[in-house]
Amino acid sequence: MNPFDLSGRVAMVTGANTGLGQAIAVGLARAGADIVAVGRSAPTETAGLVQAEGRAFHAIPADLSSIAPVADVVQQAIAVAGQIDILINNAGIIRRADSLDFSEADWDAVMDTNLKTAFFLSQAVARTWVADSRGGKIINICSMLSFQGGIRVPSYTASKSGLAGLTKLLACEWASKGINVNGIAPGYFATNNTEALRADEGRNRDILARIPAGRWGDPSDLSGAAVFLASDAAAYVHGTVLAVDGGWLAR
């Protein structure tokens, strides 16, 4: 038996319409999983890519800036897909300003989406697993700023540091219930979010000089880590945050 095979499993991925979330969804589909995508924007392109792999795709529109839709999202996912086996907490936002000027509104918006909703969505899904006496896999998409400080992104750094801590806490509580909770910390990836950095010749040069692999990550580089952590191959992996960063943290 292939321990990386996800056939017969359903993965719920938040923020799967573009970028890293899309790559994770497609990677999981290639490994055999059906996909439930949750987010504000219609994941039309992701749907086509997943269906091209021969897997079922369901989209659930929801604004994850608050926990209001969480219970309904879980109920809808189970209704349309039959079950949830894997949860990928990928949806996230960022706000940039000097810490001396940073607003409460920007603090709350980022913390609510990146940390609060991730926790309560994990809780809601885990409750269904415990009620059914079955396990599952939760993967939180963390950040380099789960380990480093960064600049001008205080709420983002706090939220992603908190998400790494939450990953460990939930692993401690839920490992005995057959639930694996782990995280992935992406490094610098070529996505819409980093387009301005890559277009800035100086910043691009400085970033590449720090990455031992010598290149920006391609979103597809993230999918292998997600498949591993979502699969039986990672059955004894609990509470880890796996950096996929081209060696950035090792430099």
Q: Is 177 helix (H, G, I), strand (E, B) or coil?
A: helix
What does DSSP say about strands 136-141 and 86-89: parallel, antiparallel, or unpaired? parallel
Quote the CA–CA distance of 145 and 121 in Å, as a whole number. 22
The tokens of 236 are what?
């004894």
Do 141 and 20 meet the contact criterion of CB atoms below 8 Å apart? yes
Quote the CA–CA distance of 130 and 174 in Å, as a whole number. 9
Output phi, psi for 143, to 5 deg: -165, 165
Give the CA distances from residue 160 to residues 50, 79, 186, 231, 240, in Å, rounded to whole numbers and listed in that order: 28, 31, 11, 24, 14
DSSP run (H or E) holding 44: helix 44-52
Q: Is 32 helix (H, G, I), strand (E, B) or coil?
A: coil
Radius of gyration of the chain (CA): 17
Beta bridge partners of 59: 37
Q: Is 188 a catalytic residue?
A: no
Question: Which residue among 119, 129, 156, 174 is the active-site one?
Answer: 156
Q: Which residue type is seen at 121? A: L
Catalytic residue positions? 156
